[in-house]
Chains A and B, each alone.
Chain A
Amino acid sequence: MPDRTDRRIGRRGWLRGAAALAAGAPFASAPFATLRAEEPPIRVGFPVPVTGPYATEAADQVRAAQLAIAEFNESGGMGGRRAELLVRDDKLDPGEAATRAIELIEKDRVDFIVGSLSASVQLAVNTVTKQRGILYNSISQSDQIVSSPDWGPTSFHEAMTPHMTATAVGRYAFGKFGKRIAYVAADYAYGHEMVAGFRAVGAGIGAEELAEIKMPIGTRDFSPLMPRLEALRPDILFLCNFGRDQQVFVKQAQESGLKRMTHIVAPILLQTARIAGGAQAFEGVLGGTSYYWGIERDVASAKAFNDRFRKAYDGRLPSDYGALGYSGVRSVLSAAVKAGSTATEKVASALAGMKYDFYKGPQYYRACDHQSVQSVFIIESKANGRVPEDVFNVLETVPGQEDLLKTCAQEGLG
């Protein structure tokens, strides 16, 4: 049933996407006049799930990506060539995403593709871009995209991997709360990869695993898990699910009293899910994130990015996954400028090993697997603050180092 819903609302999503594009238009149109009109623009395809359960996050990705395009054009583009963003709705469906990617490449003649908001969707896009020799920068989590056999010379990964997220969050949690642990995981790639990541950390310190409970994605009532989890009383409950599933679980952990007996730690705490779930439900929950706007107090590039975002979008602040849309597009365009070309091989070799600091402090693409090495932030939900996005405290910044990542040999790329 949900699938059909997603399909039917396609048109509405398009309108929303179009509105988002229109919002970015003022940036794009002004510098256009000053640029050489005969040059074809650099086209960046941007397939994201504009409709469906992650529509809110996807809309923010589009906003942030538009900002990167606008900045690029304002700064004169690449020797006068401006850039444009082609937003497509992948409907969170791998088949749909592959179709959109093929159209973007063959019909729209895009130079690069950036996007996606799910592990399986990005792998579908990656298969298409790899075959056709188009550079793809993925902005959602996956271990597989930087591992053999999925990885290819045109595959780049701006988002964190589940392994590095779980390693950073796991080290923090094990150090603080204890060694008796239980997992509740969504029964698909994301959940499995996160559990594997925590397990790797736990194995090193002799953690005791009490239970691993895999639940179907889209579960709306977790209350049947509570009696068992309460009986087990783990020191840490790693909650490896995402979006609304996560929101519903923490709400029900609150009402059942489970929260008083254990520490709930999520590998990824989404800003949007926390806002929709409310402060009461998320009280005391901690987790990791690739970005929280609140780091602007300490990180200059975050301040600059937030300010531009605020200015462009009515005082709004970017979300974690939204911000990835910005850095994903900006890094590819920067590499094109560096390479002085949009040819795939030249841009890929400029991007591999590239060091940059666009919005969250220093990052670089590891040369051997094209994974962006970056800091992971440990955050905790707090009471609602001054603005709607003021929902987390940053507890710790885990600096981006390669010991958070699998080695390229472990990924089968050595």
Chain B
Amino acid sequence: MAGLSLDLLALQIFTGLALGAVYVLLATGMSLIFGMLTVVNFAHGAFFALGAYVGALVLAMGGNFWLALFCVPVATGIAGMAVEWGLVRHLYGRGIDDPLLLTFGLSYVLVEMIRIVAGTQGLPFDTPDALAKAVDIGIGYFPLYRLFVIAVTAAILLALWLFLERTRIGLIIRAGARDPEIMRVLGVDTGRIWRLVFGLGTAIAGLAGLLAAPLQGVSPEMGNAILADAFVVTVVGGMGSLAGAIVAGLVVGVIVSLTALFAPEAGDVAIFALMAVVLLIRPQGFFGRAGLMS
């Protein structure tokens, strides 16, 4: 290709990493829920859209982006906990299909509710003024807002790691995922733990939706397409593996970015081709445990 320089290639890869950040966030929430609860959350994309709409609501009520950054995960986290309490928890222990179908149906209900309340057309969502510019990162100009998204993603991942590995509740969550029965025998209310985990997953999904809003605007269907991508990331990384979600998210981001440079028409196919190859060579994904789905 004409005009292909090293700087362009480097910028392209960096763009891919930034793109991967949103995938990482979405897949992390999904993996968290699956790893702990063995629930494949098909409503994850709907919570993503919900997050963006809650953000738009905060802005419409006179708040700013920074306030939204706080309100959105709280709201989608509470919504997720309500869903777990009202719907999902009744299906624990009934195999993997039942909660999958439930959340699949729920995703339609949520998206439809968004359409009824906020309309089908979508809403504008401006980049916060302080971040609405491009900065020189040495290899070329890059949108400041995307750097911000990378930073927030890194901060969330760090906080999540500290929470799971360094706190008492984190210890209980990890133990509960391994052997819920013993936990109950020891007097731990595992129901509350699962609710917290589900809420944490949807809170991260909502936050990802808010972060994506200035990049692509807000529409009821915004979660649909990205849900498919997030599933690819989760499967490639290994179902239930947080490290897998991070690595696979970044890899998928870079692949999408390089495909756009060399073969843009193949943009839709590339990541599914990646998934097919990974599944053939390593069916459990990069970091997944074999047999988790069976």
Contact = CB atoms under 8 A, between A and B. Distances in A.
Contacts of B121: 56, 272, 275-276
Given A224-B261, A227-B140, A231-B3, A255 B225 contact: no
Interface stretch (B72-80, B125-133, B176-184, B234-242): B125-133
Contacts of B146: 223, 255
A230 B140 contact: yes
B219 A276 contact: yes
B65 interface: no
Given A218-B225, A224-B16, A278 B124 contact: yes
B62 to A, nearest CB: 17
Interface in B240-294: 256-261, 264-265, 267-268
B141 interface: yes
B216 A248 contact: yes
A12 B122 CA distance: 17
Interface string A236-247: 000000001001
Contacts of B12: 224, 227-228
A247 B145 CA distance: 18
Given A215-B264, A221-B215, A224-B16, A277 B257 contact: no
Interface majority SS (helix, strand, loop, mixed), chain B: helix
Nearest to A9: B112
B18 interface: yes
Given A220-B226, A228-B8, A215 B267 contact: yes
Interface in B1-50: 3, 5, 8, 11-12, 15-16, 18-19
A223 B219 CA distance: 19
B217 interface: yes
Q: Which of B16, B123, B225, B264 has the most CB of A within 10 A?
A: B264
A219 interface: yes
B174 interface: no
Given A215-B267, A224-B256, A1 B115 contact: no
Contacts of B3: 228, 231-232
Contact of B134 (A244, A255, A279): A255
Given A5-B221, A227-B15, A257-B134, A220 B216 contact: yes
B224 A216 contact: no
B92 interface: no
A8 B259 CA distance: 32
B224 A280 contact: no
B70 interface: no
B108 interface: yes
A75 interface: no
Contacts of A256: 134, 141-143
Contact of B265 (A214, A223, A225): A214
B278 to A, nearest CB: 20
Contacts of A74: none
A255 B147 CA distance: 12
Contacts of B216: 220-221, 248, 251-252
Given A8-B108, A223-B18, A280-B127, 17 more contacts: A12-B112, A218-B268, A219-B267, A220-B222, A220-B226, A224-B256, A224-B258, A228-B8, A230-B140, A231-B3, A232-B3, A247-B122, A251-B217, A256-B134, A257-B134, A276-B124, A280-B126
> Nearest 3 pairs between A and B by C-beta?
A278-B124, A224-B260, A257-B134
26 contacts: A1-B225, A2-B225, A9-B115, A55-B120, A56-B121, A214-B264, A214-B265, A216-B268, A218-B225, A221-B215, A221-B216, A224-B12, A225-B260, A227-B15, A228-B3, A228-B12, A228-B261, A247-B217, A248-B216, A251-B217, A252-B216, A255-B134, A256-B143, A277-B217, A278-B217, A280-B127
